[in-house]
Amino acid sequence: MADARLDRPKGAERGLFRRRSSNSDRVGVVSEGIARFLGTPRFLVYLTVFCAAWLAWNTWAPEGLRFDSAEFGYTLLTLMLSLQASYAAPLILLAQNRQDDRDRVAAEQDRQRAERSLADTEYLAREVAALRQAINETATRDFVRSELRALLEELRAEDEAEEDAGERPEPARKPARRTKATPTRPS
């Protein structure tokens, strides 16, 4: 009972083919590294040098030191290259599958980011439209000036009409004295 691990689910230690995710990831990382190396020019140069050395040794070395005969078509070299290819293919497929998984996750994240950007853009477009409507409803400086001029003209016309009628309006009380005169701008 002392060997029982409480940090793992029950049954995680059972079975020959059960893998931990960290072990699986480690194998995937190593296989990707090997697959990347198999696709480099350096690997092709190494393989070419290896095959050339193999062929040269088994062709020109003394008869007693040769280990692969040219008479049988370099059978051992063929077996070595077949073994290398039989391991390389699954490693490359494993690396490709892992890359496909990463691409799928990245594509999903890009899609979600695009959806958020679209929603943000639509929100901002609605806000800009609302601001434009609000700006169109506000009174501009020219509109206020024209309204004030029209009101001033109205008041002058009323004053002239009262003067023409002969009625003198009572003088209005003087307003309190201002400390600072506000300049008027001519239009």
Helix (H), strand (E), coil (C) string for the chain: CCCCCCCCCCCCCCCCCCCCHHHHHHHHHHHHHHHHHHCCHHHHHHHHHHHHHHHHHHHHCCCCCCCCCCCCCCHHHHHHHHHHHHHHHHHHHHHHHHHHHHHHHHHHHHHHHHHHHHHHHHHHHHHHHHHHHHHHHCCCHHHHHHHHHHHHHHHHHHHHHHHHCCCCCCCCCCCCCCCCCCCCCCC
Chain centroid offset of residue 28 CA? 25
Scan for tokens 């280990």, then name that residue. Answer: 67
Q: Which residue did the predictor score with more confidence, 106 or 5?
A: 106
For residue 88, the tally of other CB atoms under 10 A from its CB is 15
Confidence of residue 31 (pLDDT cuts 50, 70, 90): confident
Q: If you average pLDDT over residues 15-36, what whole number do you get? A: 75
Domain ranges of the chain: 21-122
The per-type count for the chain, helices as H runs and strands as E runs, is 4, 0
Q: If you average pLDDT over residues 174-181, what whole number do you get? A: 54
Model pLDDT, residue 139: 78
The pLDDT mean for the chain works out to: 83
Model pLDDT, residue 164: 85
Scan for tokens 């699954």, then name that residue. Answer: 90
Range of weakest confidence among 29-43, 103-117, 165-179: 165-179
pTM over 0.85: no
Residue 68 has pLDDT above 80, yes or no: yes
Model pLDDT, residue 165: 83
